[in-house]
Amino acid sequence: MSATQTFTRRLLPFDEARLDRLLDEAGIDILMVTSKHNVQYLLGGYRFFFFDYMDAVAESRYLPVFIYQKGRPENSAYFAAALETFEKDLGKFWPPTVHTTTWSSTDAVRLAVEHIKKIGESSSTVGVEKSFLPMDGGQVLQDSLAGCRLAEATFVLERLRLIKSPSELNLLREASERVVQSMAAVFEHSAPGMTKNDLVEALRREEVNRGLKFEYCLITAGRDLNRAPSDQKLQAGDILSLDSAGNYHGYIGDLCRMGLLGEPDTELVDLLGLIDHIQSEARKPIRPGARGGDIFAVANEMVHNSPHKLHLEFLAHGMGLVSHEGPRLTSTGPVPYHGYDEDRPLESGMVISIETALKHPTRGYIKLEDTVAVTASGCEGFGDQFRGWNRPRT
């Protein structure tokens, strides 16, 4: 093994053996990564600030390309935008080959093709993220690598990210706690006469001030079940739901908390108590070795036995750099994918979002969404504060 190989392997920010095993199982020789989140993961947390909120530039788009050859990390390469030269000067990139010259998607793919031809065989199987490869770049790839087979690599990359490291868990914990702290501040200053748009803008400011990148907020007010921000005005006695994602160094804190412009009556206390109970019971199967689908088995039985079953919805899904990533726990959720992990055991380091919503026909929308990490001894909730009826400061 050369000095370059030794140096490169020592710096790898991901589990090389796990990636090689996943690539081998998928029959992939060379991995070509073009999504910003997976490039970030494979580069050890790097995300180019200039294109963080956008992709379009001039007549094309930003397309970062990371290349990894199974078993040969010394052949890794990163093809980046011209402005990433400054980041290269700061030593941000571990791959031995780095080019910061691209201004279009086809520029990046052409450089990647040249590199693939240097390190691979004419019959190599190249794994790509088809959902994150634009048509013009994909056409260049197909035309230039006519002898190679192109295979879908999205699943491989999701399985690579499945088990979070301690540093990733800390980022998810921080993201979750900062989101719910932001929500509590908004509830504290909410008042009749404000609009849903006012609250969403206030939440955006609170999240940004806490070091988060605001992604979205689903919001309801009063009896209305519409969750879009709007000019609907809040009224005394309205219940409020804030369901928001705040991004912390790429990792998503996605939670829902409830507010009330007044004091909760007995029915509201009972309704939120029911949702809290379902959420709490759904956590009990979350531990290493437990069947992934047991989370749904527990929650769905409670929903079925509830007098509100026609209006209750329960969902659990993986969280991390992507919302609804692995573990995939159901094939019947609102976001369609195969429940690959439904009959597989949970593992320490997985992170799961659990959410229960009640679309009450007369009281409105009541929901809790929590983030739960699988630990060696069971589970831990991230951002578990403010789970009751949050009210304005008097």
The domains of the chain are located at 3-160, 166-390
pLDDT at 1: 38
pLDDT at 10: 63
Tokens 């050369």 appear where?
A: 2
Mean pLDDT in order along the chain per 10 residues (394 residues): 48 94 98 98 97 94 98 97 97 96 96 96 95 97 94 98 98 98 98 98 98 98 97 98 97 98 97 98 97 97 97 97 96 92 98 98 97 97 98 88
Distances (CA, A) of 296 to 58, 292, 299, 360, 393: 47, 8, 5, 21, 37
Beta-carbon contacts of residue 252 (< 8 Å; ≥ 6 apart)? 172, 175, 215, 245, 246, 319, 320, 321, 322, 323
Could you give the angle at which helices 196-209 and 166-188 cross, rounded to 10 degrees?
140
Dihedral sign, Cα of residue 43, residue 166, residue 321, residue 219: negative
- For the chain, the straight-line distance linking the first and the last C-alpha, in angstroms and rounded, comes to 69
Quote the CA–CA distance of 143 and 152 in Å, as a whole number: 17
pLDDT at 394: 72
Helix/strand/coil for 128: strand
Tokens matching residue 1 = 């093994």
Q: What CATH architecture applies to the domain 3-160?
A: 3-Layer(aba) Sandwich (3.40)
Q: H-type helices in the chain, by residue range? A: 3-11, 16-26, 36-42, 85-89, 105-119, 135-144, 154-160, 166-188, 196-209, 266-283, 294-305
Instruction: Specify the amino acid at residue 116.
Output: I
The CATH topology of domain 166-390 is Creatine Amidinohydrolase (3.90.230)
pLDDT at 5: 45
pLDDT at 9: 59
Quote the CA–CA distance of 387 and 187 in Å, as a whole number: 12
Quote the CA–CA distance of 370 and 365 in Å, as a whole number: 17
pTM of the model: 0.94
pLDDT at 213: 97
Could you give the angle at which helices 266-283 and 294-305 cross, rounded to 10 degrees?
150
Quote the CA–CA distance of 128 and 317 in Å, as a whole number: 24
Q: Which helix (H) or strand (E) holds 309?
A: none
Quote the CA–CA distance of 66 and 40 in Å, as a whole number: 10
pLDDT at 4: 46
> What Rg do the C-alpha atoms of the chain give, in angstroms?
23
Work out the widest C-alpha separation in the chain, in whole angstroms.
72
